[in-house]
Structures are given as structure tokens and as C-alpha cells.
Structure 1
């Protein structure tokens, strides 16, 4: 790898209830190909300290980005697509990748988009509110998020999920950074949490789209394909140069 034109850092952001652990396999593959990776863990109960609200998540991600020297490819899964749209035009972000992620217009929220179409197995009727948090039960998570993973991976991931602040699902975004930053959408065609139809509606907002025959969690079930999608889009946009 040339020191004159280093590869960009890939910043990986997880979805609701998850943590930076969800990206471990993809990060290992990207690092083997020469990329530095940052696996973000957003504030929340049982996760990173700090403000667990949507605004707190945005501020946390901005802080992470500010601490990265050089160019960034920003990757979001599921809920964190809303964060990419809100703060993804930070000065060092050169490209973004939405992996079954919420690519939202101003005024939309994760909940309003996901609940507008029937079929999600992780919609408002599938999760529980406990105080100020939202909880998804392990059995529900295994069926909605990990049905193409090995049983061992599905059980291990479901047991690591943590409560999410109730407001993040229904907070409306105010910005759409994907309009100004080259962005790619990875549609997961077997997804039971964010249905393929909902994903394709959001993907149509972008100029670059690919599809994986995957559940909602391809970072666990097919990490090589996810890593390839990231590096290929980075190369096409010049973020790899």
C-alpha cells in the first residue's frame, strides 16, 4: 500500500440493539485488504457511555469521524442509515454504503418507513417498550435478523443484543447527506426485518445499488460479499485512491 495514496478508513456503524461487534468479520476482511477500520459502538444501555438518543448517536458519530485522519468510507447497517443521512457529509467522508439501511428523506423516521409496509418481523408490534427503551426478544431477533446464519451465530448474536432508547426509532431526520456524498445501497433480498420492497424504495433514491441473497445480517452470514461491496464502491468513487 502506497504511503502517498493510502486507502481510506472504513467506519462501520451498527443497527438498533447491536454493537460494533456485529462488524467484526467484515472489519477483519477489510483490514486484510489494507483498510483501517473503526467499528463504532453507539451509546446505549449495556454499550458505550453517553447520550443514547438519536441526537446523541449523531454527535457520537461526528466525534468518531473527527478523530479519523484522512478519507473515510462510512458504512451503516439498518437504523444507522438514518445517522449517515444526518451527519454523513462530514468533511472527510468520501463515500457511504447503506447495508439494508434506512436511507431517509427529511421528515421520515426509521419507524415511519419500516411500518408503512406490511411484512416486517421487527416492526412496532414485534418489539417491547420497557421504560424508556425498546427491547427485542432473542427468539424474535433470531427469526427476523439471522435466519440464514448458522444456529451458533444466530444464538450468540441474539444474546448480545442490548436495549435501545425508545426515541431513536421515531425521531425524524432533518437532512439527507446522501444527496451530496456518493452513496451505494446493498439490498438484502431475504430480509425479514426491513422488507426487500421497502429497501428497494429507499435504494431508488441512490445512483448505485447491488443486491445480496441475504437476511438482515449479511455482515454475519456473508461477510466476504459485504466487504467486497464496500471496497468495490470505494474504488469506483475514487475513495480508494
Structure 2
């Protein structure tokens, strides 16, 4: 019998959290702690990259890595992606065990689009093509630019800690074109960050309109660091529509 993708599961899902450019699984630590305190299993993915994790650092390598992660998880999965992580979700998120996806200021792309083609099409981004540098095969973002663009509503200590953990990103991932739109097949939600300086709210709303639902947070580009409880509540609220009954976060 074919499994109804809209039918609630009996066992709570595993939450698989995917980071954005220059970041790692560490970016989701506070959200994962809240989910795990509620009894849920989390996997914080760290995509391959220089000074980060072994493996193919390209977009294809990232997609293959997430494919392997999903294949190794028994039961249902809710995928959550931040920023560039949304492009990876877009490409491979329609895996058989994925029940729902949540895009947190993330690139929910149409086939033929890339992070660069969408983010650079509108003015206003403070982490766009003119704000990053290419060094060899990798892109880097200067600490003060990152602090201002990604973490302006975090505490000074939080912002410093995050900036110190950023790693170079393969230049190809920013211009890599997606060939699938998994969000067409998987129930998906978009979290618009209305104070975002990296991916402007206007660009986010354009992508959010593609999905069945969206919500807004008065947050920077990194609400998983500055507003982890609000992000966790949103994850659980949307997931509860498509998975087993889930508890909340106070």
C-alpha cells in the first residue's frame, strides 16, 4: 500500500537541521537542545567543506551528503533548512521519509534558479556578491560584514562566537542551479525574517509565496541563534500538522 504523504505518523519524526553558507551544524545547537529537551531526536547536519567536514564541498556533494543522512534515519523526518541550506532541501528534500520541510530565511528555489540568481536579482542584501571575496576555489566573508549581516540582533558574545566558527565555502555552491523543487511534493513552510540584512524580506516573501504557508519573525538572518524558542515553536507547530502529535516549547 502506498503511504499517504498527508497521513500523520505514529512515532514522532526526527528533525534534520541543515545550515547555511559558511556555517556548520553548530548553528542549530540551541534549537536542537530545545527539541531534544522535549523528547525529540535531532540530527544537526554539517555539510562537507574546507575546515569543516570531510567530503565533496560542492553543491552536488552537499546534496549527496544529505541524501545519505536521510537514508540512514529510520522513520519519518522533518527537514529544516537555513539560508543556502534551503537550496539543498529544494534539490533532495522529496526523499521517501521526509514528511515536512521548513525554510528559515532559506532559498526555496524553482528549477533553474540558484542562490546567486535569486539573491542578487534585488538590491539590498548586505551579504551579496559585492560583500564576499573569492580566494582560490572558495568564498569567504569578512568578520565585520558577517557580524553586521547575519547577527545584528544577537548578543555581542553570541555574534563573536559565531563569526569565529565561520569557514570558507566552495564558490560553486552559490551559483549552482537546482533541478528539482521538492517543496512541490512535500508540505513546506517558510519563516520570513523581517529584519534580515542578508536575504531581504522582499526576496523572502517572493519565495514564501511559493509554499502553502509562511510566518514572520522580527529577526535577523540568524533567528536560530537570536530567537531559538520562537524558531522551535514554529518548527513544532507546522510539523504537528503532518506528523504525530507534538508537544510545544515554553
TM-score by length of 1: 0.97
Distance 1:120 1:239, change over 3 A: farther
Aligned partners of 1:104, 1:86: CA distance in 2, in Å? 9
Q: Indicate the residue corresponding to 2:155 in structure 1.
A: 150
User: In structure 2, how many angstroms separate the alpha carbons of the residues matched to 1:154 and 1:238?
Assistant: 34
Q: Return the alpha-carbon distance in structure 2 between the equivalents of residues 103 and 202 of structure 1.
A: 6
Residue of structure 2 equivalent to 1:40: 45
Matching residue of 2:4: none
How much has 1:240 moved relative to structure 2? 4.6
**Matching residue of 2:243:** 238
Structure 1 Cα separation of the partners of residues 44 and 26 of structure 2: 8
State the Cα deviation string for residues 48-84 of structure 1 (Å, max 9, x = none).
1000000000000000001111000000000010011
Give 1:216-235 correspondences, 5 Å limit: 216-235=221-240
Please say if residues 14 and 76 of structure 1, whose CA atoms lie closer than 8 Å, have aligned partners that are also in contact: yes
Alignment RMSD (CA, Å): 1.0
Stretches of 4+ aligned residues off by more than 2 angstroms: 237-241
Determine if contact 1:71/1:239 at 8 Å carries over to the other structure.
Answer: no
SS at match of 2:178: coil
How far apart, in 2, do the equivalents of 1:202 and 1:140 lie? 25
The aligned runs of 1:21-170 (5 Å cut-off) are: 21-170=26-175
- Over 3 Å counting, the alpha-carbon distance change for 1:239 and 1:75 in structure 2 is farther
* Count of aligned pairs between the two proteins: 238
Q: Counterparts of 2:99 and 2:242 in 1: how far apart (Å)?
A: 8
Q: State the 1:5 CA deviation.
A: 2.7
Q: TM-score under structure 2 normalisation?
A: 0.94
Aligned to 1:19: 24
